[in-house]
């Protein structure tokens, strides 16, 4: 019997459109606060690649009533931590603080929801910061952007799905304060956000604090999301590139999976399949490629280009990636993946293989939401994308209900004709 959770969920919506999810937990005197905006890499306008990420930086540069760095001082001065991050389908901002500092966190988030300080100085400074981040994380790092930036433009055709979410230097440098203000007005509306709060608080008191601090944020409706739809691949797509810093070859392949939001029952077998193939020494591809054949030094698999199976919209993919030893044979690796998928589809799973994988997955799900911040963030994302934060309690059970027949059918769909592959050719001297 897999464990289940019974986290309480209190939901309400303010008149300005802000949705709120509260999940009280008195087991520790801390609170997690997360604000999720329904805008990510895929939503940024053409000619403004990297803008979602740039704007995340701008939200830390002062706000309606606070000077630059004041947010940092107030959170850290309360003994808390904070950050923000940009994803394919959303942007998050979050804090963990002692329970008695809840009102401070709510004030800070409400203040920048009213408006960040969008000045020419702040914009130019943060453009430089993002450009340096690209240099450090992509341009001057072995395997930089592999595979999360490299596979989408091979797999997809439309701008929302295929463009470089980190951004081009030309697009970043062309950004103006007016562009930033337009982006804020459109995507950072109260009606396009969810506030999640988890931890040690009284629900009635927390609701009153939320209404006090967020109630007068101007009402603006959520924008219409761009159309992300694309047909599945009907023929293999494959590209390679030379990475001058990479010492060894690498390869990544991806296959489209069912819509995570509209077809959760059809989608979940692929989430489990990725783990059956790559999670732990007993998994199919680790046992075959790493331990037996020694054809690769590492192999991994996950759903979504950022590895967020329950925080992504359609289209997304099951992705397998491997790093090879010197002189490694990419063709052999791809053939082996095909063989193992076929063997799984035709012969099924070994005794205990599915149960072992599901138990590990449920353990990870429980661990990731055990901390109050993880719970607040995941519930807020589920509210943004599905309108169902309580699904968090159901995910362990749903993962455990995936059957062997569903896994075999999913494995059978990993055909060459539906595959997008990117190969890294090493350019570093050995």
Confidence of residue 428 (pLDDT cuts 50, 70, 90): confident
Is residue 245 reached through a cis peptide bond, with omega within 30 degrees of 0 on the bond before it? no
Which residue range(s) make up the domain with 267? 237-426
* Residue 2 scores a pLDDT above 90: no
The mean pLDDT value for 85-91 works out to 97
pTM: 0.97
Same domain for 185 and 252, yes or no, is no
If DSSP codes are grouped into helix, strand and coil, which group holds residue 27? coil
Q: How high is the pLDDT of residue 395? A: 97
Same domain for 178 and 297, yes or no, is no
Mean pLDDT across the chain: 96
Query: In total, how many domains does the chain have?
Result: 2
Q: What is the pLDDT of residues 279-328, one digit of tens each?
A: 999 999 999 999 999 999 999 999 999 999 999 999 999 999 999 999 99
Question: How far is the C-alpha of 135 from the C-alpha of 84, rounded, in Å?
Answer: 20
* Residue 121 scores a pLDDT above 60: yes
Q: Confirm whether 78 is domain-assigned.
A: yes
Give the tokens for residue 149: 């930036």
Question: How far is the C-alpha of 143 from the C-alpha of 397, rounded, in Å?
Answer: 37
Among candidate residues 165, 183, 214, the one where a domain is terminated = 214
Confidence of residue 4 (pLDDT cuts 50, 70, 90): confident
CATH of residue 40: 3.30.830.10
Q: Confirm whether 230 is domain-assigned.
A: no
The mean pLDDT value for 8-34 works out to 97
- Secondary structure (H, E, C), 196-238: EEEECCCHHHHHHHHHHHHCCCCCCCCCCCCCCCCCCCCCCEE
Same domain for 371 and 409, yes or no, is yes
Q: How high is the pLDDT of residue 3? A: 79
Same domain for 185 and 259, yes or no, is no
The residue behind tokens 């990479």 is: 246
Q: How high is the pLDDT of residue 429? A: 64
Same domain for 248 and 199, yes or no, is no
Q: How high is the pLDDT of residue 292? A: 97
Q: What is the pLDDT of residues 141-153, one digit of tens each?
A: 999 999 999 999 9
The residue behind tokens 């103006």 is: 176
């Amino acid at each position: 019997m897999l464990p289940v959770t019974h986290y309480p969920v209190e939901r309400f919506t303010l008149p300005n459109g802000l949705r709120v999810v509260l999940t009280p937990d008195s087991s520790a005197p801390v609170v997690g606060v997360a604000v999720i905006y329904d805008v990510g890499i895929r939503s940024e306008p053409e000619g403004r690649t990297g803008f979602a990420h740039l704007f995340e930086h701008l939200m830390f540069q002062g706000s309606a009533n606070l000077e630059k760095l004041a947010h940092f001082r107030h959170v850290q001065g309360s003994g808390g931590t904070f950050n923000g991050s940009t994803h394919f389908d959303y942007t998050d901002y979050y804090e963990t603080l002692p329970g008695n500092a809840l009102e401070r966190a709510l004030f800070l988030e409400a203040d920048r929801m009213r408006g960040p300080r969008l000045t020419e100085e702040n914009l130019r400074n943060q453009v430089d910061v993002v450009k340096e981040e690209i240099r450090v994380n992509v341009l001057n790092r072995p395997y930089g952007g592999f595979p999360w930036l490299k596979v989408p433009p091979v797999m997809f055709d439309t701008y929302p799905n295929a463009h470089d979410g980190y951004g081009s230097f030309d697009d970043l440098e062309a950004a103006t304060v007016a562009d930033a203000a337009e982006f804020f007005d459109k995507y950072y509306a109260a009606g396009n956000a969810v506030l999640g709060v988890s931890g040690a608080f009284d629900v009635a008191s927390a609701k009153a604090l939320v209404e006090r601090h967020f109630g007068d944020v101007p009402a603006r409706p959520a924008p219409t999301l761009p159309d992300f739809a694309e047909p599945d691949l009907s023929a293999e797509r494959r590209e390679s590139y030379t990475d001058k810093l990479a010492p060894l070859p690498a390869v990544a392949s991806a296959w489209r999976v069912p819509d995570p939001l509209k077809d959760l029952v059809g989608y979940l077998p692929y989430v489990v399949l990725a783990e059956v193939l790559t999670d732990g020494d007993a998994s199919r591809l680790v046992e075959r490629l790493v331990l037996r054949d020694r054809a690769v030094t590492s192999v991994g698999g996950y759903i979504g280009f950022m590895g967020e199976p329950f925080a992504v919209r359609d289209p997304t993919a099951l992705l397998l990636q491997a790093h090879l030893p010197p002189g490694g044979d990419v063709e052999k690796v791809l053939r082996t993946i095909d063989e193992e998928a076929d063997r799984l589809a035709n012969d099924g799973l070994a005794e205990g293989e599915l149960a072992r994988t599901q138990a590990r997955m449920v353990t990870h799900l429980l661990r990731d939401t055990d901390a109050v911040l993880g719970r607040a963030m995941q519930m807020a994302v589920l509210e943004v994308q599905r309108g169902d934060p309580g699904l968090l309690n159901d995910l362990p059970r749903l993962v455990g209900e995936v059957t062997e027949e569903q896994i075999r059918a999913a494995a059978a769909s990993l055909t060459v004709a539906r595959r997008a592959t990117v190969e890294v050719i090493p350019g570093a001297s050995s």
